Structures are given as C-alpha cells and as structure tokens.
C-alpha cells in the first residue's frame, strides 16, 4: 500500500507503507500508462507511440486512492485520469531487493525428503505448483512412481512448456554407447558440469528418467552452482575472473560444430548471478594475456575442487521410475562410474519456458 506521494518537477516520489520509497520519472510513468487508450488489454501490448511523448510533460494532479492501492494521475497531455497500482509500482522500483530472494542455496546436509515428489501429485493443480516452487527454490527435484517410458518425460515437459529440439533430438533415450561422440554415453565417472556450454542459449531444464537399472554404481550427482558462487565471493580475485572471462565451449560430432562463449559465472547488469556455465569436458582452446591465463587456471581449479567436495554434493542412484529434473543454469550435474545396464530417457526445456510457468504461478 502507498503511504504518501509528492509531485516533483520531473518525477513522482512514492512512499510505500513497507518503508520502501522511490522516485518514478514522469516520462517513464506516462510511457507505462495501462488505460484503454494507451494499452491493449487483450494483447498486453503498448498502443502509445513513445517517440511522440513530450519529454517535458508534467503531472497536473495526483492522488492516492482511499485504500492506498492506486495512484490516480492526470497528465499534462491527457484529458483522462490514469491509474497506477501499488503492485505495479513496487514491482518496478529500482530499490526493490531482487537478489535471488526465493532461492534456497544448499549443501548436501540441507537436502532431505523435500526434493522427492510423486508423479500423480505433480499432475494435480496444487501438486504442480508445489513441484514448481521446490524446483525453483532448490534447483532440482526427483519425481517418483513414473512409468518407465518417454511418455512420462513428455507429460512432465508439456506441463512446464514444450520439449526443446537439440542435436540429440527432442525426446531421447540413451545407455552406454562408445560410438556416440559424448562423454555422457560412457560408463565412466562424470565430474559435475552444466550442459551445452557450446550453445548460445543453453537449455534451462534437463529431465532424466531412469527406465532400467541393473548395474552397480552410477549415482546421479547434484551440486548447487549458486552456492559455489556464493562461497567464492569471499575470494574477490577468483570471483572476478570467473565472472568476467568468457570461456568457449565446443561440440564437434554428429555432423555439427557448435561453439559459444560466456563467463563461468554470468552476471546481469546489477551484478546478480544469472547462470553458472561450467563444463571442463567441452571447453575449447582460448588465449588471454599470460599472467591472467595462469590466474584463470587457478580460478577454475578452485571452482572444480569445490564442486567435487562431498559437502557440496547430493548423490542418489536413480531407480526405474524416478525422474530427475534440474535447472541447468544453476545446478551442476555429474554421475558416478558404473558397471552394468543403465538406461535413461530425457529431454531439455528452454529457460524462458520455465520462467514463464513460474511467473504464471506467481513464484517470482
């Protein structure tokens, strides 16, 4: 709710009852008018031609509604009063704390039964929202009691968004196969990594369903990359190297050659962590100034060593009918070596589709 407002020459000062306050520029407020004349309520698109707005426009009148839920503004270039909701203004305040506020950054000791969810529960309305909340907060979940077919993977994927097409197809099955040009198809240990560092837009979610397991070993490994990043913030030089040096990833095989570059810790303009992107298997050659190159190797050694510490790893052998789903922009995944048969099916989902379903369910 809004406590009070003050009209300034080129902005409106708004004080909220939660003690947050901010100055909203006049031109910004006018550009974001959501009345029928300026906004298409059906398509959720702007009708205003922003370039035609007078940058010197001003507020003629402004008042707060009785319940404090709206501000009513009469603009110098408008004949009608335009409403701005408290929710809209708070959500767009530059003083709002947005630092991963709903993420739970974890170590192994923090994970117990909260990551296990039943397949039929996830398909229900309330169960699906609970599943999304856990997946968003912890970065991964295990869905139990699935049918051991790709239909289970497809059903869960379609609840979230749609199956992403990649060089591996849409829905895929795999077991150890030395003819495939990827380390995931071996029986060897896989150290924690993220997938598709060679893709300009790496998949947001990965789903892995265990269809058959008659083996020894092969634990699935989850590591909270955001927790690793938080730990490394205490070592400024290492954090700066990991968040500034762009590292190329490359995939060569199956008739394609893909390459992309980004920092291991990708930050946004507010210096908030957006994505962890680390895959030592797929890292391509690159050179920077020699002294910085040596420091880079020190930094990735520290990152990799932390990722392989037991305290940062959650381990679980997936049984037939268990589906592991995780955020590939946050969670590093690995696998213990194994002997025997381990058949999996899975798919990728785009990050924008995961973000979309989370927003629809008011998770952020």
- In Å, how far are 69, 72, 84, 196, 214 from 17, measured between CA atoms? 11, 17, 16, 45, 60
Cα 73 from Cα 4, distance rounded (Å): 14
Residue 272: CATH number of its domain = 3.60.130.10
Q: What are phi and psi of 197, to 5 degrees?
A: -65, -15
206 and 232 co-located in one domain: yes
What residues are paired with 316 via a beta bridge?
220
pLDDT of the chain, 364 residues: tens digit per residue: 999 999 999 999 999 998 899 999 999 999 999 999 999 999 999 999 999 999 999 999 999 999 999 999 999 999 999 999 999 999 999 987 665 468 999 999 999 999 999 999 999 999 999 999 999 999 999 999 999 999 999 999 999 999 999 998 999 998 864 454 455 567 889 999 999 999 999 999 999 999 999 999 999 999 999 999 999 999 999 999 999 999 999 999 889 999 999 999 999 998 999 999 999 999 999 999 999 999 999 999 999 999 999 999 999 999 999 999 999 999 999 999 999 999 999 999 999 999 999 999 998 7
232 and 343 co-located in one domain: yes
301 and 237 co-located in one domain: yes
Total number of domains constituting the chain: 2
For residue 101, being part of any structural domain is answered with no
Report pLDDT for 102.
82
252 and 207 co-located in one domain: yes
Report pLDDT for 34.
96
The parent domain of residue 19 ranges over: 2-91
149 and 84 co-located in one domain: no
For residue 297, being part of any structural domain is answered with yes
Tokens of 73: 């503004």
45 and 80 co-located in one domain: yes
Residue 29: CATH number of its domain = 3.30.2020.30
Q: DSSP string spanning 255-308?
A: TEEEEEEEESEEE-TTS-EEEE---TTTBPP----HHHHHHHHHHHHHHHHHHT
- Whether the CB-CB separation of 140 and 327 falls below 8 Å is answered with yes
In degrees, rounded to 5, the angle at the alpha carbon of residue 247 between the alpha carbons of residues 245 and 250 is: 170
For residue 260, being part of any structural domain is answered with yes
Helix (H) or strand (E) holding 74: strand 70-75
60, 91, 122 — which closes off a domain? Answer: 91
For residue 99, being part of any structural domain is answered with no
Report pLDDT for 98.
62
For residue 51, being part of any structural domain is answered with yes
For residue 102, being part of any structural domain is answered with no
253 and 139 co-located in one domain: yes
Q: Residue 347 contacts by C-beta under 8 Å, 6 or more apart in sequence?
A: 153, 154, 157, 163, 164, 170, 171, 172, 206, 207
138 and 195 co-located in one domain: yes
Tokens of 238: 């290492």
65 and 176 co-located in one domain: no
Tokens of 138: 């912890």
For residue 296, being part of any structural domain is answered with yes
186 and 225 co-located in one domain: yes
285 and 208 co-located in one domain: yes
**75 three-class SS:** strand
69 and 112 co-located in one domain: no
Report pLDDT for 175.
82
For residue 97, being part of any structural domain is answered with no
Q: Residue 218 contacts by C-beta under 8 Å, 6 or more apart in sequence?
A: 187, 317, 318, 335, 336, 337, 338, 342
């Amino acid at each position: 709710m809004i406590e009070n407002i003050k009209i300034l020459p080129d902005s409106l000062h708004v004080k909220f009852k939660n003690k947050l306050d901010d100055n909203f520029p006049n031109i910004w407020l006018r550009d974001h008018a959501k009345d029928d004349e300026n906004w298409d309520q059906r398509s959720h698109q702007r009708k205003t031609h922003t370039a035609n707005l007078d940058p010197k426009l001003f507020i003629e009148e402004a008042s707060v509604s009785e319940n404090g839920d709206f501000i009513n503004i009469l603009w110098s270039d408008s004949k009608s009063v335009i409403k701005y909701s408290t929710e809209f203004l708070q959500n767009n305040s530059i003083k709002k704390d947005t630092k991963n506020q709903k993420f739970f950054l974890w170590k192994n000791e923090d994970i117990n039964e909260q990551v296990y969810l039943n397949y039929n529960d996830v398909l229900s309305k309330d169960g699906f929202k609970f599943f999304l909340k856990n997946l968003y907060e912890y970065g991964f979940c295990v869905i139990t009691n699935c049918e051991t077919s790709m239909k289970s993977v497809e059903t869960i994927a379609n609840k979230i968004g749609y199956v992403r097409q990649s060089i591996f197809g849409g829905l895929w099955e795999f077991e150890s196969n030395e003819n495939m040009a990827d380390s995931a198809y071996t029986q060897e240990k896989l150290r924690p990594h993220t997938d598709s560092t060679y893709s300009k837009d790496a998949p947001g979610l990965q789903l892995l369903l265990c269809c058959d397991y008659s083996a020894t070993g092969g634990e699935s490994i989850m590591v909270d990359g955001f927790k690793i990043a938080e730990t490394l913030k205490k070592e400024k030089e290492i954090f700066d190297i990991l968040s500034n040096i762009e590292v190329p990833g490359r995939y060569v095989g199956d008739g394609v050659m893909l390459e992309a570059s980004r920092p291991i810790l990708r930050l946004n303009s507010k210096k908030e962590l957006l994505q962890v992107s680390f895959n030592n298997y797929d890292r391509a050659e690159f050179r920077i100034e020699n002294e910085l190159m040596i420091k880079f190797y020190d930094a990735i050694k520290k990152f990799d060593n932390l990722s392989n510490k037991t305290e940062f790893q959650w381990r679980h052998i997936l049984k037939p009918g268990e589906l592991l789903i995780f955020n590939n922009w946050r969670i590093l995944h690995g696998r213990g070596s194994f002997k025997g048969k381990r058949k999996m099916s899975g798919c990728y989902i785009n990050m924008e589709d995961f973000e979309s379903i989370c927003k629809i369910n008011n998770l952020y």
